[in-house]
Amino acid sequence: MTDDQSVYLDYQASTPLDERVRALVTSISDACVANPHAEDHAAGWRARAVIEEARRQVADSIGADPDEVIFTSGATEADNLGVLGAALGAPKERKRILVSAIEHKAVLECAHGAEPFGYSVEIIPVTSCGVVDLQWLASAVRDDVAVISVMAVNNEIGTIQPVEAVADIGSRAGAFVHTDASQAPAAMGVDVVAWGVDAASFSSHKVYGPKGVGAFYLSASASWRPRPLMFGGGQEAGLRPGTLPTELCAGFGLALSLMSTEEHVRTAQLRDHLLGLLSTTIPRLVATCLDAPRHPGCLHLRFEGVDAKDLMTRLQPKLSASTGSACTSGHMRTSHVLQAIGLSDEQAAEGVRLSLGRFTSTSDIDRAVALLAEAVADARRQA
């Protein structure tokens, strides 16, 4: 999305709100002022009906049943339920948690949050292409594993993980298998039943919906139920108490239902066009993990000899992109994702993520290439 001031290429951090979703959120906000959990009057019933329609839309979009969808404040809360909550709910003899080396901090931190309760955390290595090492995983999984969590699509380098194979390995040992799927709907078709996972996390603002809402998928045939991490009025099957935001849930449901395979194809074409132009315009450019299945809108690059943070500073306010995941930005430490695929600290410091989406145009790409070429040339001249 472009205006006179900026080209937006940070869709994996947050997508713009689709105008169709905005219109629905506004109308529901005006029409449904009642608490959706109020049981004594028609206004509450109407709000509840909106919530249940949104739940159905989310379920249909991910291949689940509506009663397997728990609304949350976002993927971070869902990750906490799927990792920490699931670990605490595990049989007492299961005390190991396995998470991939390239997980979002929302997964890594809540996994380590289980350590004071007697759990150990082990890191599943990835290949230089950023894909989990299934052979390592198969050799590590035994009947003492509580939780395995491997994200469906990486948020920084865009690699798509073999979730079905991970779930198969985990299920054979009776482990609880969770996947952070917040990036998945914008990258590929989602079918949680075909994946075979016990749980999955989703986020509205990664799919052109409003911020502040997400979902936790919990399979009806899950190995066990996670332990709730918050307590209150018992809403959302007792797993996530609190009054649901009617208009946000409605917006999320619509946003997910609007995702399509055609959109994935168009985004991949734009991404490849962007890479082609950059490759012929800017020398000493290195693209990350091109050989792995990846998010159609993700392009992770290194401009050799150019510090990424310095580059982004030079580009402000004309281009929005990222030097890493939004939840890692601001911390002066090497990306754990780039370390996991074997990049040195110096190489990792050169990493830039450009992410495209629904509203990216060819003119956006042309302008981005011109801006990047100028900024990289200036940085190299001054080095």
pLDDT in tens, 328-370: 555 567 899 999 999 999 999 999 999 999 999 999 999 999 9
CA–CA distance, 148 with 378 (Å, rounded to integer) = 46
Residues near 2 by beta carbon (within 8 Å), at least 6 away in sequence: 8, 361, 363, 364, 367
Cα–Cα distances in angstroms (integers) from residue 375 to residues 139, 218, 348, 370, in the given order: 47, 46, 19, 9
Tokens 């595990």 map to which residue? 90
Asked if residue 185 has a cis previous peptide bond (ω within 30° of 0), the answer is no
Distances (CA, A) of 320 to 1, 221, 294, 352, 355: 10, 42, 21, 11, 10
* Correct CATH for 19-257 of 3.40.640.10, 3.10.310.40, 2.60.120.650, 3.40.228.10: 3.40.640.10
The DSSP bridge pattern shows strands 96-100 and 120-124 to be parallel
- At 2, the pLDDT band (50, 70, 90 cuts) reads very low
Is 7-17+260-382 a domain of CATH 3.40.50.1110?
no
129 is catalytic: no
- Pair of tokens at residue 136: 């390592």
For 203, how many CA atoms within 13 A lie in the half-sphere containing its CB? 24
Domain ranges of the chain: 7-17+260-382, 19-257
Report the share of the chain in percent with pLDDT over 70: 96
The structure tokens listed for 370 are 């011109």
pTM reported for the whole predicted model: 0.95
Mean pLDDT computed over 113-125: 97
Rounded CA gap, 107 and 174, in Å? 20
Q: Catalytic pick from 32, 289, 298, 327?
A: 327
SS3 328: coil
pLDDT tens for 270-283 read 999 999 999 999 99
Residue 282: how many CB atoms within 10 A of its CB?
Answer: 20
